Amino acid sequence: MTAFFADSHPGHKRSHNEDSFEADADRGLWLVADGVGGHANGEIASAIVRDTLVRDLAAGELLVDAIRHSHQEILNEIAKRPSSNMGSTVVAMHLEDNDFEIAWVGDSRAYLFDGEKLRQLTRDHNPVSEMLARGAITPEQAAQHPERNVLSQSLGVSDSIQVNPERVRGEMHRGEQILLCSDGLTDELSDAQITQLLREHATPQAQGQALVKAALDAGGRDNVTVVIVGASASAPGHAQSFPALQPGEDAQFSEESARTSKRHDRLVWVMLTIMVVGALFWMLR
């Protein structure tokens, strides 16, 4: 069973939680969906995204296709609510064995943590992120930019939006973890702060709880959702990286070790004998 943590908190400033998440180790599906702030019924939109991905992945659909379907499902709901322009972001991971696929729309993020370093796998869909990618602004300027939460792509909101989910694929190695989160975490904590908290705690539960608490302590101005997949490098049992021995390997290893030891002993005695004979020969000359 894959180790994981998942939780969401409304924060200190919002009266309700518009985030949704899924954590299904049996299906290998984890996701975070953030109802677009300032739009009515954001919590409904994020729940539609979650439910659509769960349904479509169970039916064998591809992750990016399920995300596109969720966009249409939100638009269908908007049609029933003339005053609504609800929307949502999503970042979702499908894990099979050690192979993962991550797809996203919006500014909810995915990170890879290897026990020491944190690497962002996703790129925010907003103009500020695009300026950062072009080198027009620095990461520090991007973090403080007044339009950093303005999205260039989201699910729902309007049928004029062209949804083009991005995706990355990779392989999770022993001791690596994937962090999925809403911007309620990354708006409050820097990557350096997130890295430090992940390093300081040994289990996904302890890491996740520490991240949520730190975001709340930093202000908690938005809903905070955190999903962590995989056991940390410092978790019990992860310090040893040698493969497990197969039945019979212990005995074979012991016998081979004994033979090697005997050969070594014989070699030592031969060398000592040669040295003694050489010394005697030198003394008797």
* Average pLDDT of the chain to the nearest whole number: 82
Average pLDDT over residues 161-178: 94
> What percent of the chain is modeled with pLDDT above 90?
63
Residue bearing the bigger pLDDT, 262 or 142: 142
Residue bearing tokens 């969720």:
70
| Listed range (59-68, 196-205, 250-259, 268-277) with the worst mean pLDDT | 250-259
Q: Extract the tokens encoding 34.
A: 């953030």
Helix (H) / strand (E) containing 98: none
Average pLDDT over residues 127-150: 74
Average pLDDT over residues 241-249: 29
Q: Please report how many Cα atoms fall inside a 13 Å half-sphere around the Cα of residue 18, on the Cβ side.
A: 23
- This model's pTM is above 0.85: no
Euclidean distance between CA atoms 58 and 50, whole angstroms: 12
pLDDT at 156 over 80: yes
pLDDT of residue 142: 75
pLDDT of residue 37: 61
pLDDT at 276 over 50: no
At 45-88, the pLDDT tens digits run 999 999 999 999 999 999 999 999 999 999 999 999 878 889 99
3-state secondary structure of 145: coil
Euclidean distance between CA atoms 32 and 111, whole angstroms: 13
pLDDT of residue 235: 66
Residue bearing the bigger pLDDT, 153 or 227: 227
Q: Could you tell me the pLDDT band of residue 39, with boundaries at 50, 70 and 90?
A: low
pLDDT of residue 187: 93
Q: Could you tell me the pLDDT band of residue 262, with boundaries at 50, 70 and 90?
A: very low
At 178-228, the pLDDT tens digits run 999 999 999 999 999 999 999 999 999 999 999 999 999 999 999 999 999
Q: Extract the tokens encoding 229.
A: 């997949």
> Which sign, positive or negative, has the C-alpha torsion 104, 209, 11, 21?
positive
Which pairs from 238-243 meet CB under 8 Å and 24+ separation? 238/174, 238/175, 241/174
Q: Are 90 and 31 in contact (CB under 8 A)?
A: yes
Q: Are 166 and 123 in contact (CB under 8 A)?
A: yes
> What percent of the chain is modeled with pLDDT above 70?
80
